[in-house]
Structure formats: C-alpha cells, structure tokens
Structure 1
Amino acid sequence: MKSSLRNYNVQFSGLKDGLHQVSFEIGAEFFENFEYSLIESGEVLIDMELDKKPNMLTTRYKVKGVVNTTCDRCADPLELPVEGAFKLVFKFGKEQSDNEELIVLPPEAYMLEMAPYFYEFINVLLPARKVHEEGECNEEMVTLISQYSINSSDPDDEDDFEDDWDEDEEE
C-alpha cells in the first residue's frame, strides 16, 4: 500500500467492543494514488461508525463532498457533488464470501485498509453519464465533436451516410 494511503487505515486491535467514530478527509492527493482514476481531485468527508464485536466489525459510512472530473460531453473540467451511505461487515475467518457487503478477514488481522473501499464508494456515487448542466458545456468543443462525429443525432444525416455505403457497393 502506498504510504499516503496509510492515513486511511483503521487499527481495530486494542479497541474495546462497542461503537467508535472516525472521520476521514479526502483530497486531491488521495485520488492521485489510483491509476486511471475518473476523478482528478475532490474534497470528500467520510464519517465512519465502527461497531466492534468479538468475531466481527460492522461499519457504516456517510460520504459527502465534491469531486472534480471531466465532462463526458465536452471534455472540460466538471465539479460533481457526491453523497451517500454504505455499510460493510468484516468477519474473522478463513472461508470466502460471495456477499459484497461481507469481507472475511484472517483471524490475525488487526487493521482495516479503507482506501480502496473509500475510492469505490466515491466512484459508485458518480452518475453513469457525467455532463454539465444544459447550456454549461463548452459550446466550441460540442460543435467540433458533432462536426467530426460519425454517429450523428440527425436521422437525415444517417440516411446520407447509409446512401454513401450503398453507392460504394454498386461500383
């Protein structure tokens, strides 16, 4: 694990059974640790509630903040709010689990490496299509993209495109 991500580790050995609260501030340096990240930077607060029991840890998360990414339409910078809640259960054992909310830890584990989970939480909160509000896109870029795009939204253009192929086949 990269050293800058160690700030997101939670050592649970030595904690008494019961509820514990931990907060994490995630900034630009966090996202730099993930190759090919859709998120360039951001300011996200994650509040974690950890309920420690002898054989398991139940964790709940509240995620809230803003991330900076790229608009899927015009490729300009885009700031998006993210907000959501998650739950994970960490159980001690050797058998694997098919449930994505249940993570099996080896009996000798003493710490949770939360950075990958935090990264996943934030990415899950992004919309499938990340675009500016109507009228806020870089119009110059949108015009260029539509000018050079093969897939036109004008049905008449598609017919012309098909006709071009038909003419080539007849020759």
Structure 2
Amino acid sequence: MESADIRSGNVKVDLDLKYDGNAYSLDFTFKGEIIIACDRCLDDMPLDIDTAYNVIVKYGDEYDEKDNVLIIPESDNYLNVAYMIYDTIALEIPLRHVHPAGQCNKEMAAKLRSHTADADLEETDNDEEYTGSDPRWDALKNLLDNE
C-alpha cells in the first residue's frame, strides 16, 4: 500500500486470534519504526510505533462496521487484515511531525527562515532572542496607539 506520509518502515505485527463460538477476536500488537518526512525541513525522520488494536469479527447478513465490531457476510470465507494494519499504523502518525529542537536540516531551516516573516521557526546557533517586530504591522499598531 502506498502512503504519502510513510516513506519506509519496519513494523512487527503480532496477531492473536481467538474464536469463542460466535465471534472472532483479533488482537493486533504493533512494534517498530516508520520513516516519515519532517514537516519543517523535509528530511527523513524516524517515528516509533508501539500500539495495539482490537477488533471483533462476526458473521451476519451483510457487511457492517461499528466501533471495533466488524460484521462480514456469511458467504465470505476469508478476511484481509492488511487495511486494518495499514490504518492502525497511519493513525499513529501525528498531525504535525517535526524533528526535535535543533535536529532539523540546518540548510533547509535557513532557507525557510529567509522566506518567512516568522523568525521563531527554528532555533539559531547563536542563541539570540528575536525581539523586533514586523515593520509591516507597525503602522497598524500606531493606529491603535493613537485612539
């Protein structure tokens, strides 16, 4: 399966399957690492995966999915769990994924800073605190001060 976010990875998936007479319980355990792109510098960054997922599978008249209960038609004689595995791993990816402070690609961070008005995107090596204001907003601030 292709993913725009996941570049590569190595995740071990253990599946414990139990049958109690009328339903199957599938207990997935995920451990490993995937490689995703940093939102800030676009370099590869690792993301640890350590999660679990449980789903109950029952036979019924037609396909239905509610919470963690999956009902499949009685005519189906197999269940493809690939999408369950993919979705569980994809849900572990945070909305914003960036390197820890100071670990972004310095060259890309410098280019990004040169094209944005926000000076706080990445720490600088010289520990200088940005104290100035954006001159484009100074005129508007003066209007507020005059009232």
Q: Same fold (TM over 0.5)?
A: yes
TM-score class, shorter-chain normalisation, is 0.7 to 0.9
Match of 2:30 in 1: 63
Per-residue deviation at 1:71?
0.5
Equivalent position SS for 2:66? coil
Give the match's secondary structure for 2:40.
Answer: coil
CA displacement 1:31-85 (0-9 Å, x = unmatched): xx22x43101100000001112333211111100010110111101111111101
2:133 counterpart of 1:156: yes
Give the TM-score, by structure 1 length. Answer: 0.67
Task: Give the C-alpha shift of residue 156 in structure 1.
Answer: 1.5
- 1:132 aligns to 2:99 (yes or no): yes
How many matched pairs? 131
Helix, strand or coil at the partner of 1:113: coil
Counterpart residue type for residue 132 of structure 1: H
How many Å separate the matches in 2 of 1:150 and 1:112? 52
What aligned pairs does 1:9-158 form with structure 2 within 5 A after superposition? Answer: 33-34=1-2, 36-94=3-61, 97=64, 99-149=66-116, 153=120, 156-157=133-134
C-alpha distance in 2, partners of 1:96/1:161?
A: 58
Q: Which has the higher helix share?
A: 1
Q: How much does 1:98 deviate?
A: 5.8
Structure of higher RCO (CA pairs closer than 8 Å, 6+ residues apart): 1
Structure 2 runs not aligned, ≥5 long: 121-129, 141-147
Structure 1 runs (4+) deviating above 6 angstroms are none
Deviations 1:100-150 (A, max 9, x none): 311110111111111111111111122232111221110111121122125
Q: Is the 8 A contact 2:36 2:46 kept in 1?
A: yes
Aligned to 2:143: none
CA RMSD in angstroms, aligned pairs only: 2.4
80-89 or 147-156: bigger deviation: 147-156
